[in-house]
Amino acid sequence: MADLSVKIAGVEFNNPLIAASGTFGFGREYGEFYPLEKLGGISCKGITLTRRDGNPPPRIAETPSGILNAVGLQNPGVDVFINEDLPWLKQQNTVVIANIAGNTPEEYCEMAEKLSDTDVDMIEMNISCPNVKSGGVQFGTSCESVGAITGEVRKHCKKPLIVKLSPNVTDIASIAQSAEASGADAVSMINTLTGMRIDINTRRPIIRNNTGGMSGPAVFPVAVRMVWQVANAIKIPIIGMGGISKWEDAVEMLIAGASALQIGTVLFSDPYAPIKINEGLNKFLDDNGIKSVTELTGTIKPW
Amino acid sequence: MKYDVKPFELLSNEEVADGIFDMKLKNDELAPLAKCGQFAHVYVPGKTLRRPISVCDSKDGVLRLVYQVKGEGTKLMSQMKKGESVDVLAPLGNGFNIEQGKRYCLIGGGIGVPPMLYTAKQTENPLVITGFRNKNLIILQDDFKEAGAELVLTTDDGSAGVHGFVTDVLKEKIDEVDEVCACGPTPMLKAIAQVCKEHNKPCQISLEERMACGIGACLVCAVKVRKNGEEIMQHVCKNGPVFNAEEVVF
């Protein structure tokens, strides 16, 4: 049995697999399949300062080896999360990451402050949601805006701060550098790639929001490439995600430079995927005589 | 644990009307748990999303799913062969709330007809109204008769049964029943809800929306409902698929 534990910004995870924000709610539903302590952590559904109802349906479309979604940050607001969901989550013996999104830098700061006074383990700043008109990705697509908002939130955030990066940019490595220089403790990447599907009979986009965020196995090679590029540019840890659906993908993402992983879309095919991926990862490490999963991170031998 | 995924043995998978298939799946653990109006989330190899299919019947460990080929996923489902193992997450959602002693009118439109069969089996002497676009799409008539239902068939084009909509029949017969349950296209459900409201009869409707997780975690299958005077988003998979018609904001 290899050691699957990892440490990100001082926070210990039992294993490197974290449920990705937006696919796992606040954990209660998947907790009806298996104890949530089987996961390294949970990145909770993105929360905003006040309640949001999200976009009108349809909010999802299938794509070759993936999906498009545009939920639009439906959530009950940060206070409800803190009062009603966080106490339950903290009893599940897994790392709890609050994912925050705002309309303005002030909103991010206010949420970071509120959450800093709770026992949430980490804060993931979502500046990469492609599915809302304001809040999210407009802060995440230039080095200047990423640096500015990370620096502001850092001043109000007493918890380890993860900045979640958008792949819808020209140079993700320089954006990651801005986050690092402005005080991020880690980056998580990649959020979804903006995409679109159209019903050829009605000529209407399948998703009511017209465009949506693409995820699933189809985006995995893009995510691996970006994680590798960012790993070469920054020193803070990377939480890698984007289409991981089997243990081989997990190993590949770690080798590319990730220190921990998030998985999301695969849960919709197989709710037990995190457990199976951990088992496969463990066997791979044992078979190769590797004592700790941390030994894989960034061991790529590029040509 | 409340949810589970199990391999089901495919016993049969036959086309029973134009593009409509009748699949029977055996699993002694999960199939008996299904209640009327719930659904099964079927994994289709090669697809990212499962296909949510309403439970048509559940008996002796056999789950019956009657579904229409609508796209790539259901096309692949229709090609599954007897003896195959099918990965199913079931049963899911809240079904119809059936009270003994009431007489129900159960209405199905098109591929909304199948869940009404299992519902009919939970009620005494139900009035069942089934509507189809035309005679090539008619399904489950013998099954409803065997279940002891008073059965009415309608077609939009008059090619079989009563020429007209299910609501035409409902308006004539609504005084004979205590409550209405329905599944089918949204315009039909909206019209049924309106008739029930006018006649002051309770009405439960089963809704459909593009879905991912099936358990209420991903929030994609949203439906707007009115609760305590406030409009909120609920989800077909977890809060439904059956909703109180009066609460749904069409």
**ipTM at complex level:** 0.93
Band (pLDDT 50/70/90 cuts) for residue A136 is low
Could you report the per-residue pLDDT of A141-170, keeping only the tens digit for each?
A: 899 999 999 999 999 999 999 999 999 999
Q: Do residues B19 and B108 both lie within one domain?
A: no
Q: Which of B92, B112, B134 is the last residue of a domain?
A: B92
Check residue A135 and give its pLDDT: 57
CA distances, A57 to each of A101, A135, A204, B69, B127 (Å): 21, 20, 13, 22, 33
> B52: domain CATH number?
2.40.30.10
- B5 to chain A, minimum CA–CA distance in Å? 8
Residue A273 pLDDT > 70, yes or no?
yes
For chain A, percent of residues with pLDDT exceeding 70: 97
Those residues with Cβ within 8 angstroms of residue A80's Cβ, 6 or more apart along the chain or in another chain: A51
Q: Does residue B142 form part of some domain?
A: yes
To the nearest whole number, what is the mean pLDDT of chain B?
96
A241 near A220, Cβ under 8 Å? no
Could you report the per-residue pLDDT of A56-115, keeping only the tens digit for each?
A: 999 999 999 999 999 999 999 999 999 999 999 999 999 999 999 998 999 999 999 999
List % helix, strand, coil for chain B (3-state, nearest 5). Answer: 20, 35, 40
Nearest-CB residue to B212 (from A53, A60, A270): A60
Q: Do residues B110 and B187 both lie within one domain?
A: yes
Q: Whose CA is closest to A235, among A175, A190, A186? A: A186
Across residues A193-210, what is the average pLDDT? Answer: 95
Check residue A130 and give its pLDDT: 65
Check residue A137 and give its pLDDT: 72
Across residues A196-206, what is the average pLDDT? Answer: 95
Paired tokens of A116:
């800093």
Q: How many domains does chain A have?
A: 1
Nearest CA in chain A to B233: A53
- B89 to chain A, minimum CA–CA distance in Å? 9
Q: Do residues B29 and B55 both lie within one domain?
A: yes
Contacts of A29 in chain B (CB under 8 A): 3, 213, 215-217, 238
**Could you list the residue range(s) of the whole structural domain that residue B185 is in?**
104-206
Q: Which residues in chain A belong to E strands, given as ranges?
A: 6-8, 11-13, 17-19, 41-43, 60-63, 66-69, 95-100, 122-126, 161-164, 186-189, 193-195, 212-215, 238-240, 260-263
Nearest-CB residue to B1 (from A33, A71, A265): A33
Check residue A188 and give its pLDDT: 98
Q: Does residue A238 form part of some domain?
A: yes
Q: Do residues B21 and B113 both lie within one domain?
A: no
The sheet that has B242-244: what strands, in order across it? B162-163, B150-155, B127-132, B104-109, B179-183, B203-206, B242-244
Q: Do residues B109 and B199 both lie within one domain?
A: yes
For chain A, percent of residues with pLDDT exceeding 90: 94
- pTM equals 0.95
- Positions of chain B with pLDDT under 50: none
Q: Do residues B130 and B155 both lie within one domain?
A: yes
Q: Do residues B124 and B199 both lie within one domain?
A: yes
> B159: domain CATH number?
3.40.50.80
d(CA A44, CA A20): 7
To the nearest whole number, what is the mean pLDDT of chain A?
95
Q: Of A60, A202, A265, A270, which to mutate for an interface test with B (greatest number of B Cβ within 10 Å)?
A: A60
Residue A1 pLDDT > 90, yes or no?
no
Check residue A139 and give its pLDDT: 86
